[in-house]
C-alpha cells in the first residue's frame, strides 16, 4: 500500500504469560505497600488518640485532684451513660473496671479520641481502692515534701499531710510513702516486671489499644471483639476486656508473629508521680 509494508502481529501465549506475571507482581507490591501504609497510619492515629487521652486525664486531675473511673464499655454510642465515668463522683471504681473504657464524656473530649485507629474503644484501667487514685485528692501530692521525714501517712489513705511545713518536716509525707503499694503492675510478654507497686513504681493507669487485631476491645456498639483471626499472645490476653479485674497488664514491643509471643497492643502506662507533675500537683518543698 503506497509502498509501505504493514505488519500485524499479535502477542504469543508466552509473551502474554510474562505480561500477566509482571502485572501480578506489581499488584502484589502495591497492595503490600498500601497495606503497610494503612497499618502505619492507623497506628499513628492511635498514638495521637492515646496522647489526647493522656492530656485530658492530666487536666482532669489538675481540676479534680483525682483520676476518673472508667466508663462502661458495654454501653453503645448514643445510649444513656455512654462515655460517662462510673461512679461520677470521687470513690472506688466498683462497677465497671472489667469492662472499662476511656470516659470521653467525663473528660470532655470527642468520642473519636477515645477510639484507636481501627475504630475500637480504648480500654482504660486505673488503680482504685480505699487508698486509691480515684478517691478525693487521691492524686494530690502537692502537700508531700521530698525532705519529709514522716513515717505515717495522714490520713490512713496515704494522702500527704497538709500540715507539712519547712519548720516541722516530721509531719511532712515523703513522696515514696504516698505512692507506696499504689498503682498497677506492668510486665512484658516474658514476665519481666516493668512497673511495680511493691517497689513504689506502679502505673497510675493504663490506656490500651488492642491493635489491628482488636481482640478484647469494645466496639462503639458495646460489643467485645473476638479479634480478626490472628492468634492472640498468651500474655497479651491479660489486657482484654470482659474478664475479672486484675492488677497486672502487659506492655511490649510489637510482635506480629502468630505465636504465644504475639503482641500488637499500644499501651500508655504513666507513673503516679508523672501524672501528678503534669497536673501541677507534684510534691514541693515546703
Q: For the chain, 286 residues long, give each residue's pLDDT as a single digit of tens.
A: 454 444 455 557 676 766 676 766 666 655 554 554 456 789 899 999 999 999 999 999 999 999 999 999 999 999 999 999 999 999 999 877 889 999 999 999 999 999 999 999 999 999 998 889 999 999 999 989 999 888 765 555 567 888 888 888 888 889 998 999 999 999 999 999 999 999 999 999 999 999 988 889 999 999 998 765 455 677 888 898 877 666 799 999 888 776 777 888 999 999 999 999 999 999 988 7
How many domains, the chain? 1
Whether residue 47 lies inside any domain: the answer is yes
The DSSP annotation for 122-172 comes to PEEEE--STTSSSSTTTT--TT--TT---SS-SSTTT---TT-BTTBGGGP
Whether residue 146 lies inside any domain: the answer is no
What's the confidence (pLDDT) of residue 28? 63
* Max Cα-Cα span within the chain: 114
C-alpha cell at 52: 489526647
Rounded to the nearest 5°, which phi and psi values hold at 92? -75, 150
Whether residue 221 lies inside any domain: the answer is yes
Whether residue 160 lies inside any domain: the answer is no
Whether residue 215 lies inside any domain: the answer is yes
Whether residue 219 lies inside any domain: the answer is yes
Whether residue 2 lies inside any domain: the answer is no
Range(s) of the domain holding residue 200: 40-141+178-277
What's the confidence (pLDDT) of residue 268? 98
Residue corresponding to grid cell 505488519: 7
∠ Cα 214 216 218 (to 5°): 80
In the DSSP assignment, the letter for residue 261 is T
Residue corresponding to grid cell 507513673: 271
pTM over 0.95: no
Whether residue 262 lies inside any domain: the answer is yes
Rounded to the nearest 5°, which phi and psi values hold at 38? -65, -40
Amino acid at each position: 500500500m503506497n509502498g509501505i509494508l504493514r505488519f500485524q502481529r499479535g502477542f504469543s501465549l508466552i509473551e502474554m504469560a510474562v505480561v500477566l506475571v509482571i502485572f501480578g507482581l506489581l499488584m502484589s507490591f502495591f497492595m503490600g505497600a498500601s497495606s503497610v501504609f494503612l497499618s502505619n497510619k492507623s497506628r499513628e492515629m492511635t498514638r495521637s488518640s492515646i496522647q489526647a487521652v493522656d492530656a485530658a486525664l492530666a487536666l482532669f486531675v489538675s481540676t479534680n485532684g483525682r483520676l476518673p473511673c472508667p466508663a462502661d464499655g458495654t454501653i453503645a454510642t448514643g445510649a444513656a451513660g455512654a462515655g460517662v465515668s462510673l461512679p461520677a463522683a470521687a470513690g472506688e471504681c466498683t462497677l465497671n473496671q472489667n469492662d472499662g473504657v476511656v470516659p470521653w464524656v467525663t473528660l470532655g473530649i470527642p468520642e473519636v479520641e477515645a477510639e484507636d485507629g481501627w475504630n475500637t474503644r480504648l480500654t482504660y484501667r486505673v488503680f482504685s481502692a480505699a487508698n486509691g487514685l480515684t478517691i478525693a485528692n487521691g492524686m494530690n501530692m502537692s502537700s508531700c515534701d521530698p525532705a519529709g521525714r514522716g513515717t505515717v501517712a495522714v490520713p490512713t489513705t496515704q494522702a500527704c499531710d497538709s500540715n507539712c511545713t519547712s519548720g516541722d518536716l516530721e509531719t511532712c509525707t515523703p513522696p515514696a510513702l504516698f505512692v507506696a503499694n499504689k498503682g498497677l503492675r506492668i510486665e512484658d510478654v516474658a514476665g519481666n516486671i516493668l512497673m511495680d507497686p511493691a517497689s513504689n513504681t506502679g502505673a497510675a493507669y493504663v490506656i490500651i489499644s488492642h491493635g489491628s487485631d482488636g481482640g478484647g476491645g469494645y466496639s462503639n456498639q458495646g460489643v467485645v471483639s473476638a479479634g480478626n483471626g490472628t492468634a492472640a499472645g498468651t500474655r497479651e490476653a491479660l489486657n482484654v476486656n470482659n474478664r475479672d479485674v486484675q492488677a497486672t497488664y502487659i506492655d511490649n514491643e510489637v510482635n506480629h508473629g502468630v505465636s504465644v509471643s504475639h503482641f500488637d497492643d499500644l499501651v500508655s502506662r504513666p507513673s503516679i508521680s508523672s501524672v501528678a507533675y503534669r497536673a501541677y500537683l507534684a510534691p514541693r518543698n515546703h
